[in-house]
Structure 1
Amino acid sequence: MQKPRVVMCVFAVALALNAQARPCGGGAESSLGLRYICTKGNPEEYFVRFPKAMLSGDSTSTEVIEVPIELLNLGEPAVSWDVIKRPEELPYRYSYALSNGSHARRAIWSWALVVPGEDDSSTLSHPLWRFTSPASLATNARIASQAAISDGTLGKFARWTTTLEEHPIEPGQALAEFVVDSAFRPGWTTAYVSAGKGIEVPFEMPSAVHDELATLQKPENEQSVVLTIGPKFGPESAPRWIASDWRLGVQKMVDLGGLTAESDYVRELLHALEQLATAESQTAVLTVRIKPANGLEERVHRAVSLALAPVK
């Protein structure tokens, strides 16, 4: 199996809970209306805090219950990828390596790609981690949001997992050989990476507190969000839509700093994608005359060329 070249090309977006949670002990709600989730100044440590009277019903009690919570975004994940086309029934092979930064607070033990909701054929593999392929999910299980690219679509999770006792990716380590074989052409998609214990509470919370916690227990809030390449476009996808989506993803990578706005290749690619996205002809082809300047640009060029190759 061809291993991915480990080139840093994706950036984690950690949850900015410190902008949502109020200081512990303060009386006001946060800007997003969170009354019971608070912080003590450390932007990575949060607490559930509420009056004991909410549990006991004793309105005379002044005791306050405080429980620490831990989210799943305590790693520093980066995903490197490559995609090739093979003469197989599932022709597109996506290879990934997942790394955890040296300053991460927790080991990575799970990650998932968002794949199209109609995908019931892609297969996953890895020599050590367990995996859940799209085909094993219900056809209506379109609950995975594209948080990294915000294109408004919902898909399925293709997931790999291990345990903290088996083969986690510790801070400063990396692991390759995550593979997806798919009939779907490449496009920009979201990876969700879990590092941490998750939200655990030792007893039943009052309903108001439980409802507030539920707003956090969404993948885009609780886990690290990473922009990457994966299966996205089926045979019915219009070239104009593919080009428009690719332009959105390339521009997002420029905004994140993965691709350079000053690159001659990137500028010409964005221009070519804009032309395709607005072309009236469905037979228009991608034309980029400037060669990629580095490894990431080469892999981007290979992926976008596969995505927009004429259907034979």
Structure 2
Amino acid sequence: MKNFSIQLITLLLLTTFGKAVAQDKKIEDLNFLYVDEKYDKLVDKSIKLMDDATYRKHPMPYLYAAMGLYEISKLPEKYSVGERESDYPKPLKDAEKYIYKYVKAEAKAQKYFDDYEPTMEDYKEFFINIADTANKLGQHLFLVDKPRKAALEYKYAFKAIPNDPVLQLWQGISEIKSMNTVEGEKSARAAMELIDEKFEPSTATAGVISSGMLILEEYFTQIGDMEMAAKAKKMVDVFKKYDPEVLDKKKQEEKKQKAKEKDVVMKKFYSDEDDEDNQDLKKGKVIIDQDAKDADKKLDEIEDDFDN
């Protein structure tokens, strides 16, 4: 499956190459580094181009950096990843940040590059892969009782892939579980406005809609919002076809146990240093994660860069 995804993206790179980078050999070099699977060199060269005034507003260095980092995140046996002192401490999260930058740059590219043609539609498969990986990591973190880390993962994923409200739904659920109920309800309610009977889910996140709605049905019932609880219940029925075992409590408990057993492997994808999830939590206390605040600040800075 991995080789198929790489081959598919490589084919896209080659077939859309002319319209995306016809004007520039430096962008062309990034393409060949990706095709040659030299992901570390690809990331380094992409980042250097971002520092060049000529390319700062060009979408492709950000996209190539994201693609390189995503591949690096899947190869912890080859690259130094996952620890604070690693070459790539958080490659998936950094990939999501660069996708966000790419989206911002893509929206204004034709203003700065006359011969640039939009490329976003050509990389749908890549975005689905990112959402799929982020969702799997977010689900894992949620199941092993690290809700703040799960919320942050979903937050970055939704910023990068804003057309998938299921990511926002689980951001809200994770925030609620970590006692950040104000932001959690805001995220969950916003997502539920977009998810109805006619909603067509992505293959990356379809399987977690019903389980998320089941959690929200219970939550909204507890706080007395019966209208939202009824909608959540209805959505469980609509989307349980993607997760037939969602109402099987035994199966759900087994899933949680398996996640705990896999945590040693999954830690390669997230940093566990200074983890304070579920420590000294008091009922009703709102936890504001410093990482989350830093993430918001960084994303705001990115947005300001492209708005100027």
Normalising TM by the smaller chain, what interval? Answer: under 0.3
When normalised by structure 2's length, the TM-score is 0.27
Relative contact order (C-alpha < 8 Å, sep 6+): which is higher?
A: 1
When normalised by structure 1's length, the TM-score is 0.27
Name the structure with the higher helix share.
Answer: 2
Larger Rg belongs to? 1
Name the structure with the higher strand share.
Answer: 1
